[in-house]
Amino acid sequence: MVFPIAGGNESKGYEISNSLRFNDGDSPKLEFTPSSTGNRRTFTFSFWFKRGALGTSQYFFYTDNNGSGSTDFLIFINSSDGFRTGFLDSSQKYFGPSRVLRDPSAWYHAVVAVDTTQASASNRIKIYINGVEETDYAVDNRSDLGQNTELDFSRQAVHRISGYSSSAYIDGYLTEYHVVDGTALDATSFGEFDDNGVWIPKKYTGSYGTNGFFLQFKQTGTSQNSSGIGADTSGQDNHFAPTNLAATDVTEDTCTNNFATMNPLAAFENDGTTYFNGNYTMAEGNLQMVSSGNTGNWGHSFSTIGVSSGKWYWENRVNSISNSTHSGVSQLFTSGYFQNQSTSKNINLTNGNSNSGNYNIGSSFSSGDILIVALDMDNGEVYFGKNGTWGNSGNPATNTNPCFTGLDTTTEYFAGFDIAYAGSFSWNFGNPDFAISSGNNDGKYGNFEYAPPSGYYALCTKRLAEFG
């Protein structure tokens, strides 16, 4: 069975404006403790998520029994990238599908419906992914969940989003997080298939119950936190207190407008390994790449979205640097040296050396510099700049003095990068992981330090539908 992956919402009217980005290295979490007990037998969770780090356990929800002997309730991704829900009493009991969720470019929708009053064990917990009820299970311990069991949800105990004890924090993005206390609902309460058969969100119109909540991760509204990140907008005032989450973690990247990130599945070293072997790491929702030092092999990464038409703009911030680095545009390749590829393969901005296909902006990059890229795939041109000034006296808006011409417009180009020495770089495709002082968009979407040239757009699905 093919499961459609959400990337846009062109045929329906419900739009989601923002998400919350989690970086597991920061130990981020949101917590709420109910002041009274609700329905501990019947409830529904619905949320959208986009993966960051793969191959690690990450908890979307956890209730801590505080040693009371009650039954913890859990929703998580395991270290094999399988979606699981379950409970913990004297031992851990799980339920989840066989398939894995490993696409870092996709938004997934999950619904977990619980009703322990059901006579049949198979009806006591149901999981829906992208609108389809899961029926092929890797593990199924629902028979251990006795009829009328009271779980720790909606009890006066800590309710946590992200993290299990002091580990298993989310790495990626969350949005449109509904919890309904007292009713078991299927996925159609929260989503629908569009005219192309893609599962997309729709507005939930029901009630939430005593300890239900709706988290939109907005910056405004009533909250335990002045930023409003943990505000419950359901009307129930069940606000979550955020820890290690800030305004820069609120992003426009959502299931109705999916922004590019760097792709951990298209990341390798030049010796042909399929993934980084520990020398390199990705962070901040795959918008940051860190090199541990002189590794002997160049580490390469590419964006999740490639283009063969249209005009596109993005930024690349230098967090720290110690030696030669290359940042630019490239066709996708799986072995070899990024900086030594032919000009038909990649074009890049270099600091410190010049090889075929490189453009030296005139001075080395320094910490805090923001590199700017304008990619014109309609004319096969690319422009590079630094800190708001275009190199080669170029002007992308008027097609004047590009740094390179002659790109192959019959193939896709991606944002590309490589590094072999200690350093850290962040990307901004309109969804920055770093603070923006100016705040510019492409006329409608994105958040950039510098204004995109006229006619150039953020690399996101809304603009791809219009100009890609």
Mean pLDDT, the chain, whole residue set: 86
Q: What is the pLDDT of residue 80?
A: 96
DSSP state of 156: S
**Number of helices followed by number of strands (H, E) in the chain:** 1, 31
Residue 89 has pLDDT above 90, yes or no: no
Regarding whether 230 and 100 lie in a shared domain, the answer is yes
Confidence of residue 296 (pLDDT cuts 50, 70, 90): low
Among candidate residues 220, 251, 282, the one where a domain is terminated: 251
85 and 53 housed in the same domain: yes
Q: Is the residue at 189 inside a domain?
A: yes
pLDDT score recorded for residue 182: 97
User: Measured in Å, how far apart are the chain's first and last C-alpha atoms?
Assistant: 29
3-class DSSP assignment, residue 45? strand
Element (H, E) at 463: helix 461-467
The pLDDT score that the predictor gives to residue 423 is 81
For the chain, what is the radius of gyration of the CA atoms? 23
**Who has greater pLDDT, 245 or 91?**
245
Q: How confident is the model at residue 330 (pLDDT cuts 50, 70, 90)?
A: confident
Flag whether 177 is in a domain. Answer: yes
Say if CB 71 and CB 169 are below 8 A apart: no
Round to whole Å and give the CA distance between 328 and 347.
6
Q: What is the pLDDT of residue 335?
A: 65
pLDDT digits (tens, 9 = 90+) for 21-64: 999 999 999 999 999 999 999 999 999 999 999 999 999 999 87
* CA separation for the pair 331, 386 (Å, rounded): 23
Instruction: Give, for 464, the enclosing helix (H) or strand (E).
Output: helix 461-467
Task: For residues 121 and 347, give the distance between their C-alpha atoms in angstroms, rounded to a whole number.
Answer: 58
Q: Is residue 9 part of a domain?
A: no
Dihedral over Cα of 97, 98, 101, 106: its sign: negative
283 and 240 within one domain? no
From 203, 229, 251, give the residue that closes a domain.
251
Question: In whole angstroms, what separates CA 132 from the centre of its chain?
Answer: 22
* Predicted local confidence at residue 294, as pLDDT: 66
Q: Which two tokens stand for residue 407?
A: 């790109």
Pair (328, 274) in one structural domain: yes
pLDDT at residue 425 is higher than 80: yes
Domain presence at residue 123: yes
On whether residue 11 sits in a domain, the answer given is: no
Among 5-9, 35-39, 81-85, 355-359, which stretch is predicted with the lowest mean pLDDT? 5-9
* pLDDT bucket at 66, cuts 50 / 70 / 90: low
Cα torsion through 51, 56, 61, 67, rounded to 10: -170
Closest CA to 464 of 303, 296, 279, 234: 303
- Mark whether 224 and 293 lie in a shared domain: no
CATH number at residue 457: 2.60.120.920
Q: What is the phi/psi pair of residue 467, to 5°?
A: -130, -5
Query: 247 and 289: one domain?
Result: no
Quick check: 18 and 217 in contact, CB under 8 A? yes
Res. 145: pLDDT tops 70: yes
Q: What is the pLDDT of residue 343?
A: 44
What is the pLDDT, as a whole number, of residue 84?
Answer: 96
Question: pLDDT value at position 351?
Answer: 52
- Per the structure, the complete domain to which residue 130 belongs is given by 19-251
Residues 211, 189, single domain; the answer is yes
Give the count of domains, the chain.
2
Beta strands in 135-216 (DSSP E): 137-140, 159-161, 172-181, 191-193, 199-201, 213-215
Amino acid in position 256: T
- The residue with greater pLDDT, 219 or 322, is 322
Q: Predicted confidence band at 4 (pLDDT cuts at 50, 70, 90)?
A: very low
- Asked if residue 6 belongs to a domain, the reply is no
Say what the pLDDT of residue 240 is: 93
Examine the domain organization and report whether 198 and 291 are in the same domain: no
Q: What single-letter DSSP state applies at residue 467?
A: H
- Per-residue pLDDT of 164-213, as tens digits, reads 888 999 999 999 999 999 999 999 999 999 999 999 999 999 999 999 99
pLDDT at 237 over 80: yes
Same domain, 163 and 222: yes
Which amino acid, one-letter code, is at 124? R
Indicate whether 332 pLDDT > 90: no
With 60 as the cut, is the pLDDT of residue 341 above it? no
Which pLDDT does position 264 carry in this prediction? Answer: 87
The region of weakest confidence among 7-16, 78-87, 125-134, 156-165 is 7-16
- Say if residue 247 is in the same domain as residue 362: no
> CB within 8 A of 54, min separation 6: which ones?
81, 102, 104, 264, 265
**Residue 378: predicted pLDDT:** 96
Once rounded to an integer, what is the mean pLDDT over residues 290-294?
Answer: 76
Is 431 found in the same domain as 386?
yes
271/300: higher pLDDT? 300
Phi and psi of 247, rounded to 5°? -60, -35
pLDDT band at 331 (very low <50, low <70, confident <90, very high): confident
Helix (H) or strand (E) holding 461: helix 461-467
What is the predicted pLDDT for the residue at 72? 85
pLDDT by residue (tens digit) across 365-390? 788 999 999 999 999 999 999 999 99
Q: Are residues 273 and 174 in the same domain?
A: no
Domain limit, last residue, from 190, 225, 251: 251
Do 408 and 370 touch, CB atoms closer than 8 A?
no
Q: Minimal CA–CA distance to 114: which of 39, 170, 192?
A: 39
